[in-house]
Amino acid sequence: MPRTIVRLPTLPRVTRGVLAATLLALLLPTAQADNAGQPRPLAASHRALLSERDQGALATRIEALGQRIIDDAKVSGMAIAIVQDDQVLLERGFGVVQVGRRDPVDADTAFRLASLSKAFAGTLTALLVRDGALRWDTRIADHLPAFKLRNMQQAQTLTVKDILSHRVGLPHNTHDRLLEDDEPYPLLAARLAEAKPICDAGQCYSYQNIAFSLIGDMTFAATGDFYSHQVEKRIFHPLGMYGATFGREALEASPSWARPHVKARGGGWMPVRPKENYYRIPPAAGVNASIRDLSVWLRAQLGEYPDVLSDDVLASVQAPLVETPGETTASPWRRERLRGAHYALGWRVYDYAGHTVVYHAGAVQGYRAMIAFLPDNGFGMAVVWNCESAVPSGLLPTALDRYLGLPQQDWLELDRFKTRTRKRG
């Protein structure tokens, strides 16, 4: 199926931005500029911090580290993408789709994305806002009259922007344990009314999965179409993300898909069947995709597909809205590098040693994923793997440090695995 994206290769980025701004001014009503924050300049020029030669060296270094993670840390399977503007620097798989089998992970192997799915929800909503189907300040109760919180006055004020930025006012991950115990999502959404609030709606950050997924119900109410179909029709297919899907059945029907692995008794990894639970909340955790798909997604979020995701849409979802100070201490690289952390609309926004990094991570049983990009510099990276090892998470700060010219830190600590191997020998 041929890609239908229209390109303007003869125009420089800034010229395209002027044209886009002019068209938006003519075609969009003034009230449509209901962005989540102040929009960045349309199609702003990226300032690459490395020469093409140095970009290639960075990709080669990360590729070598990826192979070491498989060989030394014994991660079952993994895939990495690195991009600079519209160029793909690295896009490949490592290891195997299942321990005990020889089928390799390649660039088209599908993985569960877990909470990386949230950025698709924010982006779809921005498209609906742009088209007038929703507004950022649309109240949830206006489209879902049965929606309740313990404080009904607060339920009446909760907005689309609030749920996508985790400002519902409920305790962290409200009712996730019940979801893991197989309670259906509609009942869990109704039971949000039982949860004791920790603040007024819209007034504090507290990460959610059930409440976040109300955007799926809002999408159906506003469009008459299912959330997953809207994402496929308006994001996956126009961008050419042909391996991206929703749900367990679609994952298992993929030509190549990574099986999840958990720790086995006595060490090593044991494959298990993907759990269905979090697939029942598609906006929060329902997407499957290959690293080739994520390479496209990175470039789209960097503004390289303006006919699909315009700069006003990207500005909406990437604008920081609420502080998340807990993120600055969540891991060694965050403690060392982050000067500030916020949540936007399906994305986290970090001050990484003075540079803006847009980021998200995801985790469900047997899968882990991380994605990040530097919106001012056109650089991005995604890593997905199919076991519950923490080791590959060090790849992202390793790449960012090298790209930004920061002092090198050993975020991976791969030498400790070599030491253990020698001792066993």
Rounded to a whole number, what is the largest CA-CA distance in the chain?
72
The pLDDT score that the predictor gives to residue 286 is: 98
CATH number listed for the domain at residues 37-424: 3.40.710.10
Pair 294, 9: CB distance under 8 Å: no
The pLDDT score that the predictor gives to residue 418 is: 75
The pLDDT score that the predictor gives to residue 44 is: 52
Tell me the backbone φ, ψ of residue 231, rounded to 5 degrees.
Answer: -65, -45
pTM over cut 0.75: yes
Average pLDDT per consecutive 10 residues, the chain (425 residues; last block may be shorter): 34 33 32 37 72 97 98 98 98 98 97 98 98 98 96 95 98 98 97 97 97 98 98 98 98 98 93 98 98 98 98 98 96 97 98 98 98 98 98 98 96 84 47
What are the start-end ranges of the H helices in 240-389? 248-252, 282-285, 291-301, 311-318, 332-337
d(CA 277, CA 250): 15
- Reference 291, options 259, 248, 256; nearest CA is 256
The pLDDT score that the predictor gives to residue 32 is: 32
The pLDDT score that the predictor gives to residue 24 is: 32
The pLDDT score that the predictor gives to residue 369 is: 98
The pLDDT score that the predictor gives to residue 420 is: 56
Helix, strand or coil for residue 95?
strand
The neighbouring-strand residues paired with 94 are: 78
The pLDDT score that the predictor gives to residue 414 is: 95
**Angle, in degrees to the nearest 10, between helices 118-130 and 214-223:** 30
